[in-house]
């Protein structure tokens, strides 16, 4: 579904964020990207919906070269790809429901969206998405009154409401305590399994990565230094990615209860 064909990205200041990435992600795969700070994890993820633009190579989304798309097709592409951030990126003063409905904007005419006119179907679907992450009862609460874990679930519901083919998540659980981090990862895993939505997720904690990933991509200095199943990760892999042995800080720990 997502193919990186010799993709490189050089930032305007000359820094090479990605170097010759070759990667094929089939539909429905749960991919976790790991690497040191500055390795290029965010750059790789953001390339997929062109929040940053690769400078070389071809990046195919469902066979279409996204780097050659016109504005209209790029907008349609972004509608198909949900995005989740570490800091949730919610409109804090708006209600949970309104935040989730904003995921429907790609399907709403400009006039209706200016007037905040959502159809009954959109409302109903937004409520269903909230239900899937277990927080339908928070629909009318202001987003910033929710806990971190709940806010991240709102952002998952917002991504879901786009009816995406893929969800990209940049450190989605880095601000959460271990049990909540596991709970949010389980929500993402369930959505991946039930809806066959492709997931590409950056994570810091190596144990969390190995627990949830079908496949792990290791980046170092913009290069892909590992691509394999979680079960194929060894201590040597870890050294190849991080340049050192595993430390306590690399682990998030067990989930007990939320």
Ligand X SMILES: Nc1ncnc2c1ncn2[C@@H]1O[C@H](COP(=O)(O)OP(=O)(O)OP(=O)(O)O)[C@@H](O)[C@H]1O
Residue 38, contacted partner among Mg ion, ligand X, none, CB below 5-8 A by kind? ligand X
Nearest-angstrom CA–CA distance, 249 and 131: 34
Residue 85's nearest CA partner among 148, 161, 21, 177 is 148
- Using rule CB under 6 A, residue 249 touches ligand X: no
Q: Among Mg ion, ligand X, none, what binds residue 39 when CB lies within 5 to 8 Å by partner kind?
A: ligand X
Confirm or reject binding of residue 40 to ligand X (CB under 6 A). yes
Q: How far is the CB of 201 from ligand X (least distance, A)?
A: 12
- SS3 state at 216: strand
Using CB distances below 5 to 8 A depending on partner kind, what does residue 43 bind out of ligand X, Mg ion, none? ligand X
- Residue 219's DSSP bridge partners are 224
How are strands ordered across the β-sheet holding 81-85? 81-85, 166-170, 198-202, 30-34, 215-220, 223-229
Residue 42 C-beta: closest distance to Mg ion, Å: 3
Q: Which is nearer to ligand X, 85 or 107 (by Cβ)?
A: 85
Taking a C-beta distance cutoff of 8 angstroms, is the pair 139, 123 a contact? no
Binding ligand X by CB under 6 A: which of 23, 34, 39, 96? 39
Strand partners, 223: 220
- Interface with Mg ion by CB under 5 A: which residues? 41-42
| Residues found near ligand X in the complex (CB under 6 A) | 11, 13, 15, 17, 35, 37-43
């Amino acid at each position: 579904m997502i193919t990186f064909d010799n993709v490189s990205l050089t930032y305007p200041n000359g820094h090479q964020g990605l170097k010759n990435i070759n990667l094929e992600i089939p539909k429905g795969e749960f991919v976790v990207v790991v690497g040191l700070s500055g390795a290029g994890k965010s750059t790789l993820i953001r390339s997929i919906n062109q929040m940053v633009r690769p400078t070389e190579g071809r990046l195919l989304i469902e066979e279409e070269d996204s780097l050659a798309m016109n504005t209209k097709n790029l907008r349609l592409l972004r509608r198909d790809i949900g995005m989740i951030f570490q800091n949730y990126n919610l409109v804090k003063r708006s209600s949970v429901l309104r935040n989730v409905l904003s995921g429907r904007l790609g399907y709403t005419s400009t006039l209706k969206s200016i007037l905040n006119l959502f159809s009954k179907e959109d409302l109903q679907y937004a409520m269903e998405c909230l239900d899937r992450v277990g927080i339908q009862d928070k629909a009318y609460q202001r987003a910033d009154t929710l806990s971190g874990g709940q806010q991240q679930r709102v952002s998952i519901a917002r991504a879901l409401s786009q009816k995406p083919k893929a969800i990209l998540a940049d450190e989605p659980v880095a601000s959460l305590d271990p049990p909540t981090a596991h709970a949010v990862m389980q929500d993402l895993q369930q959505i991946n399994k039930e809806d066959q939505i492709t997931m590409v997720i950056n994570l810091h904690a190596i144990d969390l990565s190995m627990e949830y990933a079908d496949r792990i991509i290791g980046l170092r200095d913009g290069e892909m230094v590992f691509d394999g199943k979680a079960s194929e990760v060894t201590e040597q892999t870890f050294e190849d990615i991080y340049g050192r042995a595993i430390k306590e800080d690399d682990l998030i720990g067990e989930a007990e209860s939320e």
